[in-house]
Amino acid sequence: MVEEECGYQDETDRKQRENRSGPGSVVVALRGVCNRFCDHTVHDNLDLDICRGEILGLIGNSGAGKSVLLRSILGLRPPNAGSVRIMGIEMGKAGEKEKNAVRRRWGVLFQDGALFSSLSVEENAAFPLREFTRLSPALRREIARLKLSLAGLPASAYARFPGELSGGMRKRAGLARALALDPDILFLDEPTAGLDPLSAAAFDRLVRALRDDLRLTVCLVTHDLDTLYAVCDRVAVLADKHIAAVGDIASLLRLDHPWIQEYFNGPRGRAAFAQAAPGSDGCSLKWT
């Protein structure tokens, strides 16, 4: 679905793309981001671009700072140095009004859904509509139900409270809430962690379908190799305090980076590869 390749030919190409707003343009641009906790440096001079319409996967070791990076992008933890530019707005320098305009154009799914536990699932999904629009309650409910059904929740769950839902359902409800205002960018923090393989695969398909239908830009932090193979257009590898490599998996596999090789060529990586591309050399792992 990405109409244009997101790799840059050269520096002029990069600047041109940052200036446009069509498909293939840069929606999120991180430049020289540094994050430090006391004397522990998590990110050092980190650059990353997320292009319109793509699904970017962010991978890295546990503790490599994936969640910190996501929180920096979202402004929950402003970076110690560097700039975060989202949809053309420099988040570190922009006024509160501009930042709020950007915040309404993104949706965030936190790891455990972060649903408001005092509201029912339906009220959770309708919450952004209640706060940011002037629609009637009846129409808000209709829109919330549409989003919940898009996220794959059965109608029987709408009236229930987050405490009464399973983990997978909470994730779906969180996704419905993130989609409530039809965001341009969707941030997903470990969307398939803790889901059974069938639900995880369904979630992958869902993310892809939403991207195709609603023209979303998706940035997801994940550990799930199946998800990487199934949905991501590009994968950004967070290692050694910066983005060590960005590209589709095929091009990452060609790189001679020890961590990337280990990550994708470990037993789980090869199994996911075999599943994603039957007929390739990964088939040797199949039972005969």
Partner 1 sequence: MDRDAVQASALTYRPPSGVGAGVCPALREPRSSSSMHAVREGATLRLVFAGVMTAETLHVPEKAVPDALRSAHTDVVLDLQGVSRMDTAGALFLNLTLDGLRRAGRSCVLHDPGERFTRLLRIAPPAAETAANGQTRPGEERGKQAAPAAFFVERLIATLERADAALLARLRSVGALVGFFGAFLCIGGGMILHPGRMRFTSLVFHMEQCGLRAVPIVALLTFLIGMVVAYMGAQQLGMFGAQDFAVNLLEITVLREMAVLITSIVAAGRTASSFTAQIGAMTANEETAALLSMGLDPMVLLVVPRVSAMILCLPMLVFLADITALLGGACALYFSLDMDLQAFITRFYAVAKLKHLVVGLVKTPFFAAAIALVGCFHGFRATRNAESVGFLTTVSVVQAIFFVILLDALFALFFTVLRI
Of 115 and 260, CB closest to partner 1: 115
CA-CA distance, 249 to 236, in Å (whole number)?
A: 10
Asked if 182 is part of the footprint of partner 1 (rule: CB under 8 A), the reply reads yes
Window of 174-182, 244-252, 254-262, 278-286 that interacts with partner 1 by CB under 8 A: 174-182
Which x/- pattern, by CB under 8 A, does the window 212-251 give for partner 1? Answer: -xx-------------------------------------
Asked if 184 is part of the footprint of partner 1 (rule: CB under 8 A), the reply reads yes
Which x/- pattern, by CB under 8 A, does the window 101-140 give for partner 1? Answer: xx-xx----------xxx----------x--xxxxx-xx-
Q: Which of 6, 68, 121, 180 binds partner 1 (CB under 8 A)?
A: 180
CA-CA distance, 276 to 227, in Å (whole number)?
A: 10
Spatial CB neighbours of 16, under 8 Å, sequence gap ≥ 6: none
Window of 12-20, 32-40, 74-82, 224-232 that interacts with partner 1 by CB under 8 A: 12-20
Window of 68-76, 84-92, 234-242, 273-281 that interacts with partner 1 by CB under 8 A: 84-92
Of 71 and 105, CB closest to partner 1: 105
Spatial CB neighbours of 262, under 8 Å, sequence gap ≥ 6: none
Min dist. Cβ of residue 238 to partner 1 (A): 24
Of 35 and 217, CB closest to partner 1: 217
Contact criterion met (CB below 8 Å) for 51 and 24: yes
Of 26 and 239, CB closest to partner 1: 26
Contact criterion met (CB below 8 Å) for 16 and 192: no
Per the structure block, which two tokens stand in for 123?
A: 């009220």
Chain residues in the site for partner 1 (CB under 8 A): 15, 18-21, 25-27, 29, 85, 87-90, 93-94, 97-98, 101-102, 104-105, 116-118, 129, 132-136, 138-139, 142-143, 145-147, 149-150, 155, 161-163, 179-182, 184, 213-214
